[in-house]
Structure 1
Amino acid sequence: MTKLRAASSCLLSCLLVLFLSSASAITDDPQDKQVYIVYMGSLPSRPDYTPMSNHMSILQEVTGESSIEGRLVRSYKRSFNGFAARLTESERERVAEMEGVVSVFPNKKLQLQTTTSWDFMGLKEGKRTKRNPTVESDIVIGVIDSGITPESQSFSDIGFGPPPKKWKGVCSGGENFTCNNKLIGARDYTSEGVRDTEGHGTHTASTAAGNTVGDTSFFGIGNGTVRGGVPASRIAAYKVCNPTGCTTEALLSGFDDAIADGVDLITISIGDKTARTFENDPIAIGAFHATAKGILTVSSAGNSGPQASTVCAVAPWMLTVAASTTNRGFVTKVVLGNGKTLVGKSVNAFDMKGKKYPLVYGKSAASSVCDPESAGLCEPECLKASLVKGKILVCGSTKGLKVAESVGAIALIFKTPKPDVAFIHPLPASGLTEKDFDSLVSYIKSADSPSATVLKTEAIFNRTSPLVGSFSSRGPNTIAADILKPDVTAPGVEILAAFSPDGEPSEKDTRHVKYSVLSGTSMSCPHVAGVAAYVKTFYPKWSPSMIQSAIMTTAWPVNATGTGLASTEFAYGAGHVNPIAALNPGLVYELDKADHIAFLCGMNYTSKILRIISGENVTCTEDKDISPRNLNYPSMTAQLSVSDSNFTVAFNRTLTNVGPPNSTYKSKVVDGHGSKLNVKVTPSVLSFKDVNEKQSFRVTVTGSDLNSKLPCSAYLIWSDGTHNVRSPIVVYTDGY
Structure 2
Amino acid sequence: KLIGARFYIHALDENHNSARDTIGHGTHTASTVAGNQVNKASFYGLAPGNMRGAVPSARIAVYKVCWEDLCEDSEVLAAFDDAIADGVDIISISIGTRSAHQYYRDPIAIGSFHAMQKGVLTSQSAGNSGPYESTVASIAPWKLSVAASTTDRQFIVKVVLGDNTTLVGKGISPFDMKRKKFPLVDYHAVNNSFTGKIIFKNFYASGGYELHEKAAGIIFGYDDDIGFSINCPLPGSVLSSKDGERVSSYINNTRHPVAEILKTEAIRNGSAPVVGTFSSRGPNPFTKDILKPDITAPGVDILAAWSPEGSPSEVTGDERATKYNIVSGTSMACPHATGAAAYVKTFHPDWSPAAIKSALMTTAFPMNATTNPDAEIAYGAGHIDPVKAINPGLIYEALEDDYIRMLCNIGYTPEQIQIFSGHNNSCSKLSRGSPKDLNYPTMISNVAEAKFTRTVTNVGNANSTYKATITSPSNLKISVTPEVLSFKSLNETKSFVVTMSTKARPVDPYLIISASLVWSDGVHNVRSPIVMYLTVRPSDDLVHL
Give the counterpart of 1:620 among 424, 427, 430. 427
Contact 1:298 1:525 in 2 (8 A): yes
- Contact residue 469 and residue 517 of structure 2 kept, 8 A: yes
String of CA shifts for 1:65-101, please: whole Å, max 9, x gaps. Answer: xxxxxxxxxxxxxxxxxxxxxxxxxxxxxxxxxxxxx
2:96 corresponds, among 256, 266, 271, to 271
Residues 706 and 732 of structure 1 are in contact (CA less than 8 Å); yes or no, is this contact kept in structure 2?
A: no
1:622 Cα deviation (Å)? Answer: 7.0
Post-superposition shift, 1:253?
A: 0.8
Q: Distance in 2 between matches of 1:562 and 1:656?
A: 34
What is the rounded CA distance, in whole Å, between the counterparts of 1:242 and 1:664 in structure 2?
A: 53
Match of 1:184 in 2: 3
Alignment-derived partner of residue 406 in structure 1: 212
Equivalent residue for 2:351, pick from 519, 542, 554: 542
- Give the aligned partner of residue 543 of structure 2: none
Q: Does 1:699 align with 2:524?
A: no
Tell me which residue corresponds to 1:651. Answer: 452
Query: Which aligned segments of 4 or more residues in structure 1 are displaced greater than 6 angstroms?
Result: none
The match for 2:401 is 594
Q: 1:708-723 maps to which residues of 2 (within 5 A)?
A: 708-723=509-524
Give the superposition deviation at 1:602: 1.1
Instruction: Give, in angstroms, the shift of residue 711 of structure 1.
Output: 1.9
What is the rounded CA distance, in whole Å, between the counterparts of 1:524 and 1:345 in structure 2? 20
Structure 2 counterpart of 1:486, from 268, 279, 293? 293
SS in 1 for 2:357: helix
Query: Which residue is equivalent to 1:215?
Result: 40
| SS of corresponding position for 1:405 | helix
Q: Distance in 1 between matches of 2:500 and 2:324?
A: 49
Deviations 1:386-434 (A, max 9, x none): 3x33211101111372321333421000123344210211110000111
- Does the alignment pair 1:304 with 2:129? yes
User: What SS does the corresponding residue of 2:358 show, helix, strand or coil?
Assistant: helix
Query: Which of 454, 459, 467 is the equivalent residue of 2:274?
Result: 467
Q: Are 1:669 and 2:470 matched, yes or no?
A: yes
Q: Rg bigger for which structure? A: 1
Residue ranges of structure 2 left out of the alignment (5+ in a row) = 538-545
Letter in 1 for 2:477: N
TM-score of the two chains, using structure 2 as the length reference: 0.94
Tell whether the 8 Å contact from 1:356 to 1:453 is kept in structure 2 after alignment: yes
Distance in 1 of aligned mates of 2:363 and 2:201: 44
**Offset, 1:619:** 0.6
Identical residues among aligned pairs (%):
53
Q: Deviations over 1:685-736 (max 9, x none)?
A: 1111111110000000011133151322211111111211111111223549
CA change 1:400–1:302 in 2 (3 A) is closer
Among candidates 394, 419, 430, match of residue 200 of structure 2: 394
**AA matched with 2:380:** G
Secondary structure in 2 matching 1:656: strand
For 1:345-364, list aligned pairs within 5 A: 345-364=170-189
Give the drift of 1:362. Answer: 2.0
**Following superposition of structure 1 onto structure 2, how do residues 75-90 of structure 1 map, counting pairs within 5 Å?**
none
User: Relative to 1, partners in 2 of residues 1:242 and 1:623: Cα closer, same or farther, differing over 3 Å?
Assistant: closer
Distance 2:53 2:336 in 1: 8
- Is structure 2 residue 525 aligned with structure 1 residue 525? no
The amino acid across from 1:677 in the alignment is: L
Residue 634 of structure 1 pairs with residue 459 of structure 2: no
Which deviations, in whole Å up to 9, do the C-alpha atoms of 1:510-547 show, x marking residues without a partner?
A: 10001111110000001000000001111111110010
Distance of 1:423 and 1:408 partners within structure 2: 19
Q: How does 1:96-175 map to 2 (within 5 A)?
A: none
Q: SS of the counterpart of 1:590?
A: coil
Contact 1:465 1:559 in 2 (8 A): no
Provide the C-alpha distance between the structure 2 equivalents of 1:359 and 1:561, rounded to a whole number of angstroms.
39
Amino acid at match of 2:330: T
In structure 2, distance between residues paired with 1:400 and 1:200? 17
Whole-angstrom CA distance in 2 between matches of 1:622 and 1:689: 33
Q: How far 1:615 moved relative to its partner? A: 1.5
Aligned to 2:541: none
Q: Distance in 2 between matches of 1:631 and 1:238?
A: 31
Cα distance in structure 2, aligned partners of 1:665 and 1:445: 68
- Residue 111 of structure 1 corresponds to none
User: Aligned partner of 1:186: which letter?
Assistant: A
The alpha-carbon deviation at position 243 of structure 1 amounts to 2.4
Relative to structure 1, the CA distance from residue 448 to residue 425 in structure 2 (aligned partners, 3 Å threshold; closer, same or farther) is same
Alignment-derived partner of residue 557 in structure 1: 366
Task: Look up the SS of the partner of 1:351 in the other structure.
Answer: coil
Letter in structure 2 aligned against 1:397? F
Mapped partners of 2:430, 2:353: distance in 1? 26
CA–CA distance in structure 1, aligned partners of residues 270 and 472 of structure 2: 25
- Residues 1:714 and 1:625: Cα distance change in structure 2 (over 3 Å): farther
Partner of 1:456: 263
| 1:288 and 2:107 matched | no
Alignment-derived partner of residue 684 in structure 1: 483
* Alpha carbons 2:472, 2:478 under 8 Å: kept: no
Shift of 1:624: 6.3
Contact 1:587–1:655 under 8 Å retained in 2: yes
Task: Give the corresponding residue for 1:236.
Answer: 61
Check if 1:504 corresponds to 2:305: no
Task: Find the aligned partners of 1:281 and 1:302 in 2 and give their Cα distance.
Answer: 14
1:211-268 CA distances to partner (integer Å, 9 max, x unpaired)?
1111111100011112111101110000111225211111111101000100000000
Secondary structure of the equivalent of 2:63? strand
| Structure 1: tracts of 5 or more residues without a match | 1-181, 366-383, 641-646
Matches within 5 A, 1:185-204: 185-190=4-9, 191=12, 192-204=17-29
Is the 8 Å Cα contact of residues 451 and 499 (structure 2) preserved in structure 1?
yes
State whether residues 400 and 414 of structure 1, in contact with CA within 8 Å, keep that contact through their aligned partners in structure 2.
Answer: no
Q: CA deviation at 1:442?
A: 1.9
Q: 1:574 aligns with which of 381, 384, 389?
A: 381
The correspondence for 2:322, drawn from 494, 498, 513, is: 513
Return the letter of the residue paired with 1:501: P
What is aligned with 1:445?
A: 252
Query: CA separation of 1:400/1:523 partners in 2, compared to 1, >3 Å: closer, same or farther?
Result: closer
Report the Cα distance in structure 2 between the residues aligned to 1:559 and 1:402, rounded to whole angstroms.
38
Q: How far apart are residue 293 of structure 1 and its match?
A: 0.3
Residues 464 and 559, structure 1, Cα contact 8 Å, conserved in 2: no
Deviation at 1:658, TM superposition (A): 0.6
Contact 2:511 2:535 in 1 (8 A): no
**1:626-657 deviations in Å (ceiling 9; x for gaps):** 311110000011122xxxxxx32100000111
User: Which residue of structure 2 lines up, in the alignment, with residue 341 of structure 1?
Assistant: 166
Check the 8 A contact 2:221/2:242 in 1, yes or no.
no
Note the 1:360-379 alignment, pairs <5 A: 360-365=185-190
Counterpart Cα distance in 2 of 1:513 and 1:407: 23
Shift, 1:448, TM fit: 3.2
Distance 1:210 1:337 in 2: 45
For the Cα contact (< 8 Å) 2:227–2:278, is it kept in 1? no
The two structures have a TM-score, normalised by structure 1, of: 0.70
CA displacement, residues 86-122 of structure 1 (integer Å, 9 cap, x when unaligned): xxxxxxxxxxxxxxxxxxxxxxxxxxxxxxxxxxxxx
1:115-135 per-position Cα deviation (integer Å, ceiling 9, x unaligned): xxxxxxxxxxxxxxxxxxxxx
Calculate the aligned-residue CA RMSD, in Å.
1.6
Is the CA contact (8 Å cut-off) linking 1:418 and 1:471 kept in structure 2? Answer: no
Alpha-carbon distance between aligned partners in 2 of 1:574 and 1:712, rounded to the nearest angstrom: 14
